[in-house]
Amino acid sequence: MTARFFLAALFVVGGTNHFLSPEVYLSIMPPALPWPRELLLMSGAAEILGGLGILPRFSRRAAGWGLIALLIAVFPANVEAVSKGMVVAGHSVPEWLLWVRLPLQLPLLWLVYWSCCKRA
C-alpha cells in the first residue's frame, strides 16, 4: 500500500508539472514525434489519471498497465534528455543524473507492476 501511495504521488506531481512547466518537457521531446505540445499534455494527463487510478482497487490493474505503457512510451524522451541536456527551473540537470535516470526506469516499471498489476 505504501508503494502505491508513493507511486500515486510521483505520477500525479509529475503529470501536474507537465502543465505547470511544459517547456522542460518540450525541450526533451524527440524531434521525430509530431504534435509535441499535444503529446506532452496527453502524457501529463495520463500520468495524473494513472496515479489516481492506482489507488482504488477497481481501477488499479488497468491504471497500472497504463502507467507501464506510459513509462515505456516516454523512455525516448529520457534518452533525448541525455543527448541534448535538460534544464529545470533555469538550472542544467547534471549529465550523470540524466544517465542514472535511464536504468531507474526498470525498477520503477517493476514497482508499478508489483504493486498494481500482480497484487491488485
pLDDT of residue 112: 97
pLDDT of residue 119: 66
Does residue 89 come out as left (phi exceeding 0), alpha (psi in the -120 to 50 range) or beta?
A: left
Tens of pLDDT along the chain (120 residues)?
789 999 999 999 999 999 999 999 998 999 999 999 999 999 999 999 999 999 999 999 999 999 999 999 999 999 999 998 888 888 898 999 999 999 999 999 999 999 999 865
Instruction: Please give the full DSSP string across the chain, using - where no structure is assigned.
Output: -HHHHHHHHHHHHHHHHHHH-HHHHHTTS-TTSS-HHHHHHHHHHHHHHHHHHTSSHHHHHHHHHHHHHHHHHHHHHHHHHHHH--EETTEEPPHHHHHHHHHHHHHHHHHHIIIIII--
pLDDT of residue 65: 98
pTM (two decimals)? 0.90
pLDDT of residue 48: 98
pLDDT of residue 120: 56
CA distance 18 to 8: 16
